[in-house]
Amino acid sequence: MVLNIGRLPVPVMGAPLAGGPSTPELVSAVSGAGGLGFLAGGYKTADLVAAETAAVRAAVSAPFGVNVFVVAPYEVDPVSLREYRRSLQPEADRLHVGLGEPRWDDDEYRAKIDLILDLRPDVVSFTFGCPDAEVLSNLTARDVLSMVTVTSVAEARVAVARGAASLCVQGPEAGGHRGTWDLEQQPDPTPLLDLVSSVVAVAGVPVVAAGGLTDAADVASALARGAVAAQMGTAYLLCDEAGTSSVHRAALSNPAFARTAVTRAYTGRWARGLANRFIAEHTDAPAGYPHLHHLTAPLRKAAASAGDSQVAQMWAGTGHASAKPIPGADITRSLAP
């Protein structure tokens, strides 16, 4: 039977925080407390996603989801890429690390789809794009609820037309990558709650609200606009079970990082993180995902290892000041409207 996400005991989903913060322990904590935890499948092999899925199932019997990236082919402007690489070299030299090789890949998309069809988690969500109708139909046939991340009414219409069973509406307040499908398009600036109302009016499928939500009152506001649940990510970054790096944790609690900024500097995709020197100095970063992700990966790893918060990637939403260093189950229960 397909999960009814409108009947979660706590209408809250833990956002899939790729790159480390989302762990099987965090997913289990959120789902075990009555919400819906999400494994982040991005940047992982299909085998690792399978292992983490097994770990969650061993820890909790409650429903949970898996997130998958939909990465469209893209060619980066070679001149812009060379110039950007040149601008990064002094930073790499300072941290004694080589830059990575920019390239395109699909993040093992097909292998992960096959895995999900085999393992059948309760929900699979997609970001950066929308699967084709055949994939969505196959998921429905396996009783896996499909959820497509959308950032505009236009994307919502396409996703529903292809057969998406639910939508995650992501507003501009969200931390991390904006899920806008067109890599070159400026993300829709419409505030989350207004965007939710607009999508609910045309969607005809359950809608989840995501972006800048921090407490039970925010969850209630999203439900009042027609969402069936709220997805929270930044709220869980400091919790005990999160795999958030030490430099990221320290910055989230540091008043010097009171502001967030939207940047393409780290990955070539628009994303919101704690404002630091690296973001301020690289406003010229070109579009190019995952090319820039691979280019900057060694630099980001070296900065995190060195505790360099002025260079490290530290995704966070506009409500990051509300994040608390407490167990994930307690956070989940506190968000019940």
Helix axes 133-141, 109-119, angle to 10 degrees: 20
Angle, alpha carbons 330-191-313 (nearest 5°) = 60
Q: Dihedral of the CA atoms 293, 299, 301, 302 (nearest 10)?
A: 180
Q: Which residues pair with 232 in a beta bridge?
A: 14
Under CATH, which architecture does the 5-334 domain have? Alpha-Beta Barrel (3.20)
Helix axes 46-59, 24-32, angle to 10 degrees: 40
Rounded Cα gap, residues 106 and 127, in angstroms: 12
Rounded Cα gap, residues 94 and 92, in angstroms: 5
Is there a contact between 40 and 22 (Cβ–Cβ < 8 Å)?
Answer: yes
Mean pLDDT of 71-85: 97
pLDDT single digits (tens) 115-143: 999 999 999 999 999 999 999 999 999 99
Token pair belonging to 279: 């973001």
pLDDT single digits (tens) 194-251: 999 999 999 999 999 999 999 999 999 999 999 999 999 999 999 999 999 999 999 9
Percent of the chain with pLDDT over 70: 100
Nearest residue to 5 (alpha-carbon basis) of 159, 169, 228, 233: 228
Given a cut of 90, whether residue 1 has pLDDT beyond it is no
DSSP 251-285: HHT-GGG--EEEESTTTSS-EEEE--HHHHH-TTP
Average pLDDT of the chain to the nearest whole number: 97
* Dihedral sign from CA coordinates of 43, 49, 52, 53: positive
DSSP 121-139: -SEEEEESS---HHHHHHH
Q: Where residue 255 falls among pLDDT bands split at 50, 70, 90?
A: very high
pLDDT single digits (tens) 270-328: 999 999 999 999 999 999 999 999 999 999 999 999 999 999 999 999 999 999 999 99
Global pTM value: 0.96
Higher-confidence residue of 131 and 185: namely 131
What's residue 246's pLDDT?
97
Q: Which residues pair with 13 in a beta bridge?
A: 36, 231
Is there a contact between 213 and 219 (Cβ–Cβ < 8 Å)?
Answer: yes
Given a cut of 90, whether residue 12 has pLDDT beyond it is yes
Neighbours of 258 (CB within 10 A): 10
Is there a contact between 241 and 29 (Cβ–Cβ < 8 Å)?
Answer: yes
DSSP 74-104: ----HHHHHHHHHHHHHHHHHTT-PPPPP--
The pairing of strands 145-150 and 12-14 is unpaired
Q: Where residue 186 falls among pLDDT bands split at 50, 70, 90?
A: confident
Q: Break the chain into its structural domains and give their ranges.
A: 5-334
Nearest residue to 147 (alpha-carbon basis) of 50, 38, 234: 38
Q: How far is CA 138 from the centre of its chain?
A: 24
DSSP 44-72: S-HHHHHHHHHHHHHH--S-EEEEEE---
Nearest residue to 303 (alpha-carbon basis) of 294, 312, 295: 312
